Each structure stands twice: as structure tokens, then as C-alpha cells.
């Protein structure tokens, strides 16, 4: 098992790094080159950079993911590709993607896209709260212990 993070805009990378450090579980941060960082990473964390093209990070994550891996992403479309591979897919606000909630999320995403293309506006994500971080931490620890 490894943990793969859709890292471009992931606000819980530090939580994942901390919780996997003691368990010696590998973490892969997948980011576009436009988010390159020379920051020193823990020995169990590896950064993978991809072109800045649309969905390049998503394609790389799908390529790297294997059954039993834990993936952290806020991208519903990416999550829908990873569930059939046998991955556990978590959102940084503290919920797990599954077959039961996926159809509704993809439909909502599609409807928002239609509204935006028509010139309308949709709400963006709310700010990540301490409660969200705690929910994610609890869910992530549970996923690691499965």
C-alpha cells in the first residue's frame, strides 16, 4: 500500500506525511510542474511532477494507483476512475468516495459546468475548517489501519 496525493491544491499534505511517517508507508505527491517546489521532503515522500496540461496529474495518478492504495483528491472525476481499481479514495474535507455517492457528485459537477458555460456563476468550495481537518485525519487513520 502507498498513499498518492493529488497535490496541486491539497491542504492536508502535512497530515498525510505525519501519519504515514511512523508507519513507514510511502507517499507520492503528484503535481504539475507549475507547482514545483524545492522543499525538502521526508524520506518516505516522493514528488512526481507532470506537464501543466489539463488532467496530466490525473492521468499520472491513475497510472501509479494500484488496488489497496489510498488516494487523496478533491477531483470527483479522478475518484470515479480510481474506485474500480480497488483504491480507497478520500476527499480532504473528511469523506470517502464510494459507488453510492459518486453518481450524485458527478451529476452535480456536470450541472455546475453547464451553468458556468452558460455565463452563470456557481459557488466555489468553502474554506477548510479545523473540523474538516479533524474529520480527514480520523478518516485517514482509519483507512491506514484497514
Chain segment 69-96, per-residue pLDDT in tens? 999 999 988 999 999 999 999 999 999 9
The C-alpha R_g of the chain, in whole angstroms, comes to 15
Coil, helix or strand at residue 82: helix
Q: At what angle do helices 13-21 and 130-145 cross, to 10 degrees?
A: 40
Q: Is residue 121 pLDDT above 70, yes or no?
A: yes
pLDDT in tens, 20-31: 998 999 999 999
Domain ranges in the chain are 3-145
Other CB atoms within 10 A of residue 97 CB = 22
CA distances from 129 to 92, 97, 126 (A): 11, 20, 9
Instruction: Please give the backbone phi and psi of residue 93, each rounded to the nearest 5 degrees, phi first.
Output: -90, 0
Q: Would you tell me how many other CB atoms lie within 10 Å of the CB of residue 42?
A: 11
Torsion of CA 57, 87, 103, 32, to 10 degrees: -10
CATH code, residues 3-145 = 3.40.50
The H or E element containing residue 5 is strand 3-6
pLDDT band at 105 (very low <50, low <70, confident <90, very high): low
- Are 82 and 64 within 8 A, CB to CB? no
Q: For residues 30 and 70, what is the distance between their CA atoms, to the nearest angstrom?
A: 13
Average pLDDT, the chain: 90
Count Cβ atoms below 10 Å from residue 121 Cβ, excluding itself.
Answer: 8
pLDDT at 118: 81
Amino acid at each position: 500500500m502507498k498513499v498518492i496525493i493529488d497535490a496541486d491544491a491539497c491542504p492536508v499534505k502535512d497530515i498525510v506525511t505525519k501519519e504515514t511517517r511512523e508507519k513507514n508507508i510511502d507517499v507520492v505527491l503528484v503535481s504539475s510542474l507549475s507547482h514545483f517546489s524545492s522543499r525538502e521532503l521526508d524520506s518516505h515522500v516522493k514528488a512526481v511532477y507532470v506537464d501543466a496540461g489539463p488532467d496530466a496529474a490525473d492521468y499520472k495518478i491513475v497510472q501509479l494507483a494500484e488496488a489497496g492504495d489510498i488516494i487523496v483528491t478533491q477531483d470527483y472525476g479522478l475518484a470515479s476512475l480510481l474506485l474500480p481499481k480497488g483504491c480507497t479514495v478520500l476527499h480532504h474535507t473528511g469523506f470517502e468516495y464510494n459507488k453510492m455517492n459518486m453518481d450524485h457528485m458527478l451529476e452535480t459537477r456536470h450541472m455546475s459546468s453547464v451553468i458556468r458555460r452558460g455565463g452563470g456563476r456557481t459557488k466555489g468550495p468553502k474554506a477548510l475548517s479545523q473540523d474538516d481537518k479533524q474529520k480527514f485525519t480520523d478518516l485517514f487513520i482509519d483507512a491506514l489501519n484497514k
